[in-house]
Chains A and B, each alone.
Chain A
Amino acid sequence: MARYGMVIDLRTCVGCQACSAACATENQTPYWSDKWRTRVLDIEKGEYPNTGRHFVPTICMHCEEPACLTICPSQATFRDENGSILVNYDTCLGCKACMAACPYGARYVYDKNDVAKNREIHGELSQHNVVHIDKCTFCFDRVERGLEPACVATCPAHTRIFGDLDDPNSEVAKLVASGIAKPLRPDLNTKPKVFYIY
Chain B
Amino acid sequence: MAVENSLHFERQEAYEWPLAVYLLLGGIGGAFISLSFILHYLFSWSPVGNYGMLIGMGLFALAGLVLIFLDLERPLNAIYSLNNIKTSGISWDVVLIALSFGGAFFYVLPFYVSIPALEGLRLFFGGISAIAGFLFPVISGGLISAPVSVPLWHTPLLPVLFLINSFGVSVSAVPAIFGPGSEILAFIFNLAVFMANLVSLGGFIAFYEHAHNGPVEARYGFHEMWKKFNFQIGFLVVGLLFPLLLSGYMLFTGNFLSWGFGALALAQLIGGFALRNCLLKHGYHTYPWPY
A interface residues, Cβ below 8 angstroms from B: 10, 41, 43, 45, 52, 54, 56, 58, 67, 69-76, 91-105, 109, 111-112, 130-133, 184-185, 188-190, 196, 198
Contacts and interface: CB of A to CB of B under 8 A. Distances in A.
- Main SS of the interface on chain B? loop
Contacts of A105: 10, 285
The winner among B12, B15, B80 for most chain A CB atoms within 10 A is B80
B81 interface: yes
Nearest to A44: B7
Nearest to A112: B73
29 contacts: A43-B289, A43-B291, A45-B291, A54-B290, A54-B291, A67-B148, A69-B87, A70-B87, A72-B88, A73-B81, A74-B81, A74-B84, A75-B80, A76-B80, A92-B74, A92-B77, A93-B77, A95-B81, A99-B12, A99-B13, A100-B149, A100-B150, A103-B148, A103-B149, A105-B10, A109-B73, A132-B74, A184-B289, A196-B290
Interface string B209-234: 00000000000000000000000000
Contacts, number: 127
A10 B77 CA distance: 40
Interface stretch (B36-44, B89-97, B193-201, B241-249): B89-97
B83 interface: yes
A111 B83 CA distance: 22
Interface of B: 8, 10, 12-15, 71-74, 77-78, 80-84, 87-91, 94, 143-144, 146-150, 283, 285-286, 288-291
A93 B10 contact: no
Contact of B84 (A54, A56, A72, A94): A72
Contacts of B80: 73-76, 91, 93
A70 B122 CA distance: 35
B260 to A, nearest CB: 38
B288 A104 contact: yes
